[in-house]
Structure 1
Amino acid sequence: MPQFRKKPVDIEARCVPTYPQPRGRETSVVAYVNECVALAEWCGGRSHMMNDADSGIEDHILIPTLEGDMRALPGDYVIKGVKGEFYPCKPDVFAATYERVEPSPAATDDEMTTRVFAALHRSAEQDVSRVITLYERWAKAGPPPLGTSVSRWWDIRLAELHAAILPPGTQAEETPMGQQEQSAPVDWRAIAKQRERELKAVGEQKHAVEQERDGAYRERAHLVALLAAMTDGAVITYATDVDEPGWQIVYLTIGDRQASWHVSPRDADLFQHVERVEHDDPRAQWDGHTTEEKYTAIAAHTAELMQRCGPACSEMHTGTGRCETASNP
């Protein structure tokens, strides 16, 4: 019996943080929320943390996967696959499957671009935070005291604003005599336009990525709809594991193995021909297969069909029976 070994593939993964203990430590909670938001932004998902204990909803990161939105609970890992797809993984499965590797010293162009945009985003947030802090200090201090030179008072305020807007490390260094070098006039309009260009570029990149992702999902939906039309017993039902309304799951049997896909509301029109059943129908019960197991089974069945029939077979079928070409050589 032939045996195979899974190819070693490096993946990127992050662990969903757990709520800090003991509860009530403000600094720990803020760091926890920020880490969850950063993880959600990384995988293109949404952070649903700090849920009310009485709501019955567990804290989770909602991840858009090739099978639709899935939840990653605290302690779970979010994995970025070799094709850029994201999916959750339980910690015990992750520990048994993966081991930590040192990152390559040479980052790819995509990684470098991502880091640059992330750095710009953090820089903009830091600028805004420093200006807000300065404004609050001004509001608390109130107007200049009587007898103070208004022009001098404004010069000090402008110098403080200049120091708040410029990123740390760009301030003029002291000269050997302890005097500050004369700084050039600040072009506030140029700074604002530069920030606007940076934010616009980030928005355009995000929009392009979303369009590319939606196009890939639409292509996949077309192929699954075709496969459902060629498969006996295909059924579709509403997805109870997705919070957003309109999501469905289509169930097929391919080579005596179950295969299922989540169907987005925008792709529902492609599945009008599939029999619709209630979510408790025996034919619409997930058997526990993973995405990797599903496509491994499909690849094995495809190879089996080619071995039975060969490329000359003109019949379109996905059943397990032999076609006329194969049964009458």
Structure 2
Amino acid sequence: MTVTRYRKKPVEVDTIQWTGDNETDVQAFTGRQNFYALDDADRAGSDDPEATATVYDKLHSTWVLVYTGQHIVRGVKGEFYPIAEDVLAETYEPADSAPPADRATVLREAYEIAYAEGMRLNALEAEIGAGPYRGALAVAHLLRKAISEAQQAGAQR
């Protein structure tokens, strides 16, 4: 028998913790059809009456029992599965809380900042009658064009 050792690749996943009373939030994360809380009758008839919910793992085509306090993980293939908080802490560390923004979003935010600054500087120019501050507005318009191109490129994917 040959045993081969592997190391887990660095990967970021999104999770939400099942508190026992946040079914709507978890369903918003997983999709309504992929998660539901178990009522007393469901719990009595399940393999483990301590389970309080169930999540659908599409990668393995099965429903998995969830216990209050567990986190629901969205895996790298879009699958959902529960993980205990202590196991989560042993295998993952917190990453940036915000998922990476797409290029169009970043450019849109930069445009809004540049445009506002350009307008402020134009008002200042009019007030004191000095200096060409139109550069900020020119940058804002270039960013606007880049946003449009990024959105079109995203739509073509």
Give me the TM-score of the superposition, normalised by structure 1: 0.25
- Taking structure 2 as the reference length, the TM-score comes to 0.48
Larger radius of gyration: 1
